[in-house]
Amino acid sequence: GIIAEFGKQWYQRRVRVFPTTFELPSDYHIFVEEFKRSPNSTWIMKPIAKSQGKGIFLFRKLKDIMEWKKEDSWKVDGTRDDREPVENYVVQKYIDNPYLIGGRKFDIRCYVLVTSYIPLKVWLYRSGFGRMSNSRYSTDAIEDTYVHLTNVAIQKTAPDYDPEKGCKWSLIQLRMYLMTKHGPEAVETLFRAMDDIFIKSLQSVQKIMINDKHCFELYGYDVLIDETLKPWLLEINASPSLTASNQQDYDLKFKLLHDVLTVIDMEGKLTGKEKRVGGFDLMWNDGPVYGEELVMEGMPHPPYSTNTRLGGFNDREENLKSMMRSHTNSVK
């Protein structure tokens, strides 16, 4: 994982990028030790093999998860216990101080495209969305999924859900809102920290991923912001949902898929030197990628990519038209 790859020093310097996490039932006894160190904490259980918020619940008492208690599968008499094994779950310490908008919790879905692991080549999509809950946030009723889970599949079953309005904000709306509240500098720092999460998480698994030049991966990153404007990595979805909840959502995902195929370039129209393709910005190419402004001004290069515009203006159509004109001229 990230800590094993980059060490405790990096992890502590970044003051954690993901909540304390264990896998049950295999890590049950280690988890219990951590649970006892924070007796008043809230924890969240997530099934490994499910999606759309299915099977997720919060708890504060060990008795609520006793069925995940890892025990020897052999009985005293030497025969094997043939009870059905419990489903594998991930348990995380619940972030109970989320940033709230209108008193409601939200998290952010970002799209990251990896076209190569060796060398690592990563593209970040400018557009994304914030998923809002329909109910005001409170830690009093941890069993209320409408309060604590932002999954659209959960929220759309709420009694007051409006399918026309939905429960999403575009990422550009969210970024502008945060800038009006906290200023450009604080928001830029927040989004740079999110960039760092994307790259470090991929680097942590780079050595164990099967690299095939004919393959690519589109990941859906779920990030939560707490009340101090610190981003937390909640999970990485290898098969992010591309089902649309309304017309705005459909437009975003249609354009996302179009741009994925353009980056993949099965027709061989790209030069391979592009830093921008549609809504995707190249953020890592065996090292940080720098924006044209630094190259033109001859400024010193920082140790992070400056070529990302997460939550920025997505003028993808103009970019694609410009690329098409360049390709047409080169063919003539």
pLDDT at residue 7, rounded to an integer: 47
Sign of CA dihedral 128, 134, 136, 139: negative
The strand pairing partners of 58, in sequence order, are 44
Strands 57-59 and 43-47: antiparallel
Q: Which residues contact 132 (CB under 8 A, 6 or more apart)?
A: 101, 104, 105, 106, 150, 155, 167, 168, 169
pLDDT at residue 159, rounded to an integer: 82
pLDDT at residue 157, rounded to an integer: 85
pLDDT at residue 2, rounded to an integer: 47
pLDDT at 50 over 90: no
pLDDT at residue 94, rounded to an integer: 96
The whole-chain average pLDDT of the chain stands at 87
Burial group, residue 17, by CB count within 10 angstroms (0-12, 13-18, 19+): buried
pLDDT tens, residue by residue, 87-117: 899 999 999 999 999 999 999 999 999 999 9
Place of tokens 């989320």: 98
Strands (E), 167-296: 168-170, 217-225, 231-237, 276-277, 280-285
pLDDT at residue 331, rounded to an integer: 63
DSSP calls for 109-165 = EEEEEEEEETTEEEEEES--EEEEEEEE--SS-TT-HHHH---HHHHTTSTT--TTT
pLDDT at residue 294, rounded to an integer: 52
pLDDT at residue 158, rounded to an integer: 85
CA distance linking residue 27 with residue 326, whole number of Å: 55
pTM, full prediction = 0.88
CA distance linking residue 27 with residue 25, whole number of Å: 6
- C-alpha distances (whole Å) from 163 to each of 13, 53, 153, 267 are 43, 18, 12, 39
pLDDT at 301 over 70: no
More confident residue, 204 or 70: 204
Exposed e or buried b per residue across 225-264, where buried means at least 16 C-beta atoms within 10 angstroms of its C-beta: beeeebbbbbebeeebeeeebeeebeebbebbeebbebbe
- C-alpha distances (whole Å) from 293 to each of 245, 250, 299 are 38, 33, 8
pLDDT at residue 57, rounded to an integer: 94
pLDDT at 245 over 80: yes
pLDDT tens, residue by residue, 27-41: 999 999 999 998 889
pLDDT tens, residue by residue, 319-332: 999 888 877 776 65
pLDDT at residue 190, rounded to an integer: 96
